[in-house]
Amino acid sequence: MVRTQIKDKANCSLATRGFLFQIQECLSGQVKVSVNIEDLQKALLRGGSPMTVIEMQKRFVNYIYE
């Protein structure tokens, strides 16, 4: 719904009640996570060897949930 409203060129005003409600719905349940850049780099670059995108995603998720 949000993407449709953003793409709708005829509706120039994005700050409608409906749009704001849709944004609120999308963001509800989000949790702020503090990230230390040095710790994140260590977690992602562990071993210093090349990795696949999937391996990088796994390392990121593991870091966030530690």
Higher pLDDT, 59 or 12: 59
**Please, what sign has the CA dihedral across residues 29, 31, 32, 38?**
negative
Residue 45 has pLDDT above 70, yes or no: yes
Per-residue pLDDT tens digits for 25-44: 888 888 887 889 999 999 99
Q: What radius of gyration do the chain's Cα atoms show?
A: 19
pLDDT band of 1, cuts 50, 70, 90: low
- pTM of the prediction? 0.52
Q: How confident is the model at residue 3 (pLDDT cuts 50, 70, 90)?
A: low
